[in-house]
């Protein structure tokens, strides 16, 4: 199993981002994922982090296929591989209607569009001159003007529902899962296996990663409350709404939608026009519509169960999840739970320092090894 960290796109100072990835690399982490929403741009960040590291993989988690044509995405992937050969993974996804709306771009045919996108991306990265007659993309004689990557750049697909999971098993090198209840994990892997079988592939050929929302804290109830606040934000995104219904949370979503007030949303947009996490500003009625049990079913690293066995000193305070984080606090937290995870993974590693640090939230990525 490999373990990585996800860097949130909240505009952390670059010197702190460099320190974070260098500390993660020194402590044995395998992977850094860089995402985007409507703040920092993924490929630029990934390139900067690759240039400051030597061993650790850095990947996009994720690049929206709607915001870049596949030919441009291939140029970006090739550039990242040029910076650090063999150390980049290219994560793709369809994002959400909310993000597309900010850019004034329609959100349509996610599965069919992704299939064409990956096909063109593969051909361009192989150094071919590509002319493609698709429903969505029609490049004409495109070819990279520099030598293509010497090795294969792994392509990962973010997937929630069955059709995208099967497509990932069919055409991708890896899959990125998120917001799965623990009971859903085996079912999602079974869908990936169906797609792999359709393409004559084995499930062991596909790298499966899962985002784990992680909190270093001793207060389980407060952590679940904070996680519920984050979860409510995803209840507004079409991709996850459909997934949550598929996971059996349809009644919760119905109640949540019924409690939402349009005037509240308008007030939030006026009051917080520049907040990265403005979708996390909710009414108490909406919060109460999502029960605590739905949050506790999500994959979360719960530190107290193993803390004493590894003698890891963890902070004893929590604070509300918010995008209004000070940069030094964020990097402190990520390094803290990074050290905690390493102590779990290997008994031979030195125990974490007993210095108390403020607790915040981050995201870790767990990558099972290829079978």
| Separation of alpha carbons 325 and 316, rounded Å | 18
| pLDDT value, residue 127 | 97
Helix (H) or strand (E) holding 245: helix 238-246
The pLDDT > 70 percentage for the chain reads 69
| Separation of alpha carbons 12 and 40, rounded Å | 9
Q: What is the mean pLDDT of residues 282-305?
A: 51
Most confident of 131-140, 252-261, 341-350: 131-140
Check pLDDT > 90 for residue 102: yes
**Spatial contact of 298 and 181, defined as CB atoms under 8 Å apart:** yes
Q: How far is CA 352 from the centre of its chain?
A: 26
| pLDDT value, residue 267 | 36
Q: What angle do CA 118, 11, 47 make, to 5 degrees?
A: 45
| pLDDT value, residue 241 | 85
Give residue limits of the domains in the chain. Answer: 2-367
Range name among 122-126, 185-189, 238-242, 282-286 with the lowest pLDDT average = 282-286
Reported as a pLDDT band with limits 50, 70 and 90, residue 282 is very low
Range name among 112-116, 225-229, 258-262, 270-274 with the lowest pLDDT average = 270-274
| pLDDT value, residue 290 | 57
| pLDDT value, residue 286 | 54
| pLDDT value, residue 68 | 97
Q: What is the mean pLDDT of residues 306-334?
A: 36
Reported as a pLDDT band with limits 50, 70 and 90, residue 99 is very high
Copy the structure tokens of residue 146.
């520099």
| pLDDT value, residue 298 | 55
* Model confidence pLDDT, tens digit, residues 154-198: 999 999 999 999 999 999 999 999 888 888 999 999 999 999 999
Strand partners of residue 210: 177, 366
Q: What is the mean pLDDT of residues 293-304?
A: 49
Copy the structure tokens of residue 221.
């109830």
2-367: which CATH number, 3.40.470.10, 3.40.1350.10, 3.20.20.30, 3.20.20.70? 3.20.20.30
| Separation of alpha carbons 22 and 53, rounded Å | 6
pLDDT: which is higher, 341 or 194: 194
pTM attached to this predicted model: 0.74
Reported as a pLDDT band with limits 50, 70 and 90, residue 256 is low
pLDDT: which is higher, 345 or 250: 250
Mean per-residue pLDDT of the chain: 78
| pLDDT value, residue 307 | 34
| Separation of alpha carbons 25 and 132, rounded Å | 40
């Amino acid at each position: 199993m490999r373990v990585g960290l996800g860097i949130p796109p909240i505009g952390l100072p670059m010197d702190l981002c460099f320190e974070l990835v260098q500390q993660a690399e020194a402590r044995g982490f395998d992977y850094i994922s860089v995402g985007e929403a409507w703040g920092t741009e993924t490929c630029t960040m990934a390139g900067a982090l690759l240039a400051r590291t030597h061993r650790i993989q850095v990947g996009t988690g994720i690049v929206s296929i709607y915001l870049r044509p596949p030919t441009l995405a291939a140029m970006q992937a090739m550039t990242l591989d040029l910076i650090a050969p063999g150390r980049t993974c290219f994560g793709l996804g369809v994002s959400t209607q909310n993000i597309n709306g900010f850019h004034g771009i329609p959100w349509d045919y996610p599965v069919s569009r992704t299939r064409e996108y990956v096909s063109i991306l593969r051909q361009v990265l192989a150094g071919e001159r590509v002319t493609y007659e698709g429903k969505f993309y029609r490049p004409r004689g495109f070819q990279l003007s520099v030598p293509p990557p010497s090795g294969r750049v792994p392509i990962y697909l973010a997937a929630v529902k069955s059709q995208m999971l099967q497509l990932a098993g069919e055409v991708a090198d890896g899959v990125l899962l998120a917001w799965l209840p623990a009971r859903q994990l085996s079912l999602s892997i079974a869908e990936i296996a169906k797609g792999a079988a359709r393409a004559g592939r084995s499930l062991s050929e596909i790298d499966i990663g899962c985002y784990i929302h992680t909190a270093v804290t001793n207060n389980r109830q407060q952590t679940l409350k904070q996680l519920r606040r984050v979860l409510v934000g995803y209840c507004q995104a079409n991709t996850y709404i459909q997934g949550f219904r598929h996971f059996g949370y349809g009644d919760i979503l119905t109640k949540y939608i019924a409690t939402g007030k349009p005037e509240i949303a308008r007030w939030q947009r006026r009051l917080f026009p520049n907040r990265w996490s403005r979708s996390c500003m909710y009414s108490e009625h909406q919060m109460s519509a999502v029960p605590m049990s739905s949050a506790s079913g999500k994959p979360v690293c719960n530190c107290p169960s193993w803390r004493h066995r590894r003698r890891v000193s963890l902070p004893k305070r929590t604070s509300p999840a918010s995008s209004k984080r000070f940069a030094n606090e964020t990097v402190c937290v990520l390094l803290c739970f990074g050290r905690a995870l390493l102590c779990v993974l290997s008994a031979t590693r030195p125990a974490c320092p007993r210095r108390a640090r403020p607790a915040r939230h981050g995201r870790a990525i767990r990558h099972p090894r290829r079978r």
